[in-house]
């Protein structure tokens, strides 16, 4: 009988430790995956302003950071398309903007 009690205590302890580990990891992952990132320079909540700021940032920074951005598209064509997209932010939905960026 003592062996049975010891076995139960060990199993309950292991189960309790596993539940605690899962709870801690779950809390950490929830916080990691559900965080919101806000641009430190854009304080507006207006969709159009946020998109315009992001697209302008992309237009200036992507050529600086990408190793070979213009391998399939001419530089002037890239800037022309980015300007066109920036001008259509108010008309396009979020999905249309994202689709345009994929082209």
- Looking at the predicted structure, is the pLDDT value of residue 83 above 90? yes
Domain holding 92, by residue range, is: 47-102
* Residues 52 and 91 occupy one common structural domain: yes
Average pLDDT over residues 96-103: 89
**Binning pLDDT at 50, 70 and 90, where does residue 28 land?**
confident
pLDDT of residue 14: 93
What's the chain's average pLDDT? 84
For helices 94-102 and 47-65, the axis angle rounded to 10 degrees is: 10
pLDDT reported for residue 103: 80
Residue 42: predicted pLDDT: 58
Same domain for 25 and 54?
Answer: no
For residues 93 and 53, membership in a common domain is answered with yes
Nearest CA to 56 among 39, 73, 71, 72? 39
């Amino acid at each position: 009988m003592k062996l049975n009690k010891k076995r139960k205590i060990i199993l309950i302890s292991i189960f309790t430790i596993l539940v605690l580990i899962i709870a801690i990891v779950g809390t950490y992952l929830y916080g990691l995956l559900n965080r919101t990132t806000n641009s430190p320079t854009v304080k507006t909540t207006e969709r159009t302003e946020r998109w315009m700021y992001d697209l302008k940032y992309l237009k200036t920074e992507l050529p600086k950071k990408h190793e070979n951005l213009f391998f399939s598209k001419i530089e002037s064509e890239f800037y022309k398309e980015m300007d066109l997209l920036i001008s259509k932010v108010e008309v396009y939905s979020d999905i249309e903007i994202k689709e345009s960026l994929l082209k």
